[in-house]
Amino acid sequence: MANNGANLKEIICHNLNQALSIDKNIRENAEQQLNMLETNEDYGLHLMEISLSENLDFSIRHLASILLNRYITKHWCNTMEKFEPPEVPDPVKQLIRDYLLKSL
């Protein structure tokens, strides 16, 4: 399971990098991939980890933060106006909250 999580995180990082490409085709493909990955329950958690990683380029971290904000708006709570399934599982919500508190 941890290996699959690491692979997912690497895939997300790769697509974040590609989403910053000046090549329209590469960028659009990466955006599609990120939209598809959004349904994975660990997607938000990996975005949080990426956004806090000092080992990554600022532009990737910044994009991860933007996508995390969008992810939370869409998937955090099924009573929110802009909600789209799936809802973030409670254990993942707690981990994201913990990361946010530690990052302050």
pLDDT of residue 29: 99
**What pLDDT sits at residue 5?**
67
In tens, the pLDDT along 55-93 reads 999 999 999 999 999 999 999 999 999 999 999 999 999
Residue ranges covered by each domain of the chain = 2-103
Q: What is the pLDDT of residue 102?
A: 85
**Number of CB atoms found within 10 A of residue 81's CB:** 5
List Cβ neighbours of 97 (8 Å cut-off, separation of 6 or more).
none
Q: What is the pLDDT of residues 17-60, one digit of tens each?
A: 999 999 999 999 999 999 999 999 999 999 999 999 999 999 99
pLDDT band at 3 (very low <50, low <70, confident <90, very high): low
Can you tell me whether residue 20 is helix, strand or coil?
A: coil
